[in-house]
Structure 1
Amino acid sequence: MAMFPLGSVLFPHMPIALRVFEERYLAMLSAVLQDEPGEFGVVLIERGSEVGGGDRRFDIGTVARIEELGTTDGAVAVIGSGTTRIAVDRWVDDGPFPQAEVTELADLEWKDEYLPLLTQAESIVRRTIARAAEFVEHRWSPDVAVDDDPAVASWQLAGIAPLGDMDQLELLRSTSLPQLLTRLIDLTVEAGETLTATWGDEKPGDSGWGTGA
């Protein structure tokens, strides 16, 4: 499978937006668009950068399905969404673009008995996003909609939670929805506590974060 190592984690059922300008990834797009739908794997870079190659990569990721293409500032704009999780079995030569032998991971099975965990996770994630937004810019609004399908919503809550890359990577490795939701709750609570400890009782304008008033 064609692969696109990035400095961020892609979850199933979450959007992805890329600005592609490197020759190797333009070649990758040309190759994957020969099939319908066009898909490529996304993995988190462990060490190195997105540009130039020579990076070290983690061994789990998500398939990105291309939904829209456009052009912007001499680059190709790609809009897509995460689908299936994959495990990287072996990386092959990066020429002309990164590729790997991968195994698709099974979807996590939903049971109605997990609903209290999902409800708790959603409440904590939304509350923590609202708290974080008082001090730092966050991509997601606390009232952003999630899917009616509870299994899909579980992944989407993991995707919008204000967590670091390594916490997100841990969630991506989940082997069951209870594990995913339990760790999502724990990690989000920890993130909220860290935020509170860092900022204390300061108000947004106290440390140069102007309110615009």
Structure 2
Amino acid sequence: MTAHPMFPLGMTLLPGETLSLQVFEPRYRQMVADCTAVDGTNSFGVVLISRGSEVGGGDERVDVGTLAHIETSTERPDGRYHLSCVGTDRFRVRSWLPDDPYPMADITLWPSTDPIAYPADLAPIRERLTGLSSVLSRVRGIVVEDRLIEPLESDGPIDAKVYDTAVRLGLGPADRLKILSAPGTVERIIELCQAIDDLIAVIEFSGLPAD
């Protein structure tokens, strides 16, 4: 791939994750029109804004992101668009192009290149999710174990299970970026485990009695 439309956001989109957007800025309305044209890409890249705002430009952006495939695009009477998208391929930004009129970047797809991962490699995640479920039940009275483990029981690639678990946990953009930026599946599992450990620590700390 080379030049591709880009939509910097205050979130990290993960492969397989759904994304709904209300597009109101003129530059991004033009982007949607171009993407959904007969000769358009029907997708755009989503990268996390590391500094700045989603509106107005002048933001700083990370160089790893996910392509968002436009599944439905509805134009409102006032010119805004409502988009329903799903994350597909991970990519790297090789260089940013001028924002004329909307952000563009020269990108290359970035598939995992590590050795094949197996279901047994998910055991550390399962162990931590069981611990998280126990802490949630003890500290907050919330029973969620089945819902947390569900992605690991599904069919499909190991990477998809890791991404789906991160989405269901509602991890923040920084943790999601670490998971997305991991070179391969094994490293991705390690990053997810660390994020779950941090989440457990936060919940346990919130349950400590005040001095």
TM bin (shorter chain): 0.7 to 0.9
- The alpha-carbon distance between structure 1 residues 193 and 175, as it changes in their structure 2 partners (threshold 3 A), is same
- The alpha-carbon distance between structure 1 residues 29 and 85, as it changes in their structure 2 partners (threshold 3 A), is same
In the TM superposition, residue 122 of structure 1 has moved relative to its aligned partner by: 5.0
Aligned to 1:210: none
Which runs of at least 4 in structure 1 moved beyond 6 Å after TM superposition?
Answer: none
Aligned to 2:88: 83
Residue by residue, what CA displacement relative to the aligned partner does 1:163-208 show, whole Å, maximum 9, x if unpaired? 2221211111111212111221121121221132134359xxxxxx
Aligned to 1:182: 190
Comparing 150-159 with 68-77, greater Cα deviation is found at 68-77
- The alpha-carbon distance between structure 1 residues 90 and 166, as it changes in their structure 2 partners (threshold 3 A), is same
Is structure 2 residue 63 aligned with structure 1 residue 56? no
Confirm or deny: 8 A CA contact 2:76 2:82 kept in the other structure: yes
Aligned to 2:72: 68
Q: 1:4 aligns with which of 2, 7, 10?
A: 7
In the TM superposition, residue 128 of structure 1 has moved relative to its aligned partner by: 8.2
- The alpha-carbon distance between structure 1 residues 112 and 195, as it changes in their structure 2 partners (threshold 3 A), is closer
Is structure 2 residue 22 aligned with structure 1 residue 19? yes
Q: CA RMSD in A?
A: 3.0
In the TM superposition, residue 58 of structure 1 has moved relative to its aligned partner by: 0.5
Is structure 2 residue 102 aligned with structure 1 residue 97? yes
Give the gaps of 5 or more residues in structure 2: none
Aligned residues: 196
The CA distance in 2 between the partners of 1:76 and 1:62, in whole Å, is 20
Identical amino acids, percent of aligned pairs: 29
Aligned to 1:167: 175
Q: 1:120 aligns with which of 117, 124, 127?
A: 127
In the TM superposition, residue 130 of structure 1 has moved relative to its aligned partner by: 5.3
Comparing 64-73 with 37-46, greater Cα deviation is found at 64-73
AA of the residue aligned to 1:101: D
Three-state SS of the structure 2 residue aligned to 1:81 is strand
* Alignment TM-score, normalising by the size of structure 1: 0.79
The CA distance in 1 between the partners of 2:14 and 2:131, in whole Å, is 19
Three-state SS of the structure 1 residue aligned to 2:147 is coil
Confirm or deny: 8 A CA contact 1:4 1:98 kept in the other structure: yes
Is structure 2 residue 35 aligned with structure 1 residue 32? yes
Three-state SS of the structure 1 residue aligned to 2:32 is helix
The CA distance in 1 between the partners of 2:145 and 2:25, in whole Å, is 32
Residue by residue, what CA displacement relative to the aligned partner does 1:6-44 show, whole Å, maximum 9, x if unpaired? 000100111111110100111001111124761100000
Three-state SS of the structure 2 residue aligned to 1:87 is strand
Aligned to 2:118: 111
User: Larger helix proportion, structure 1 or 2?
Assistant: 2
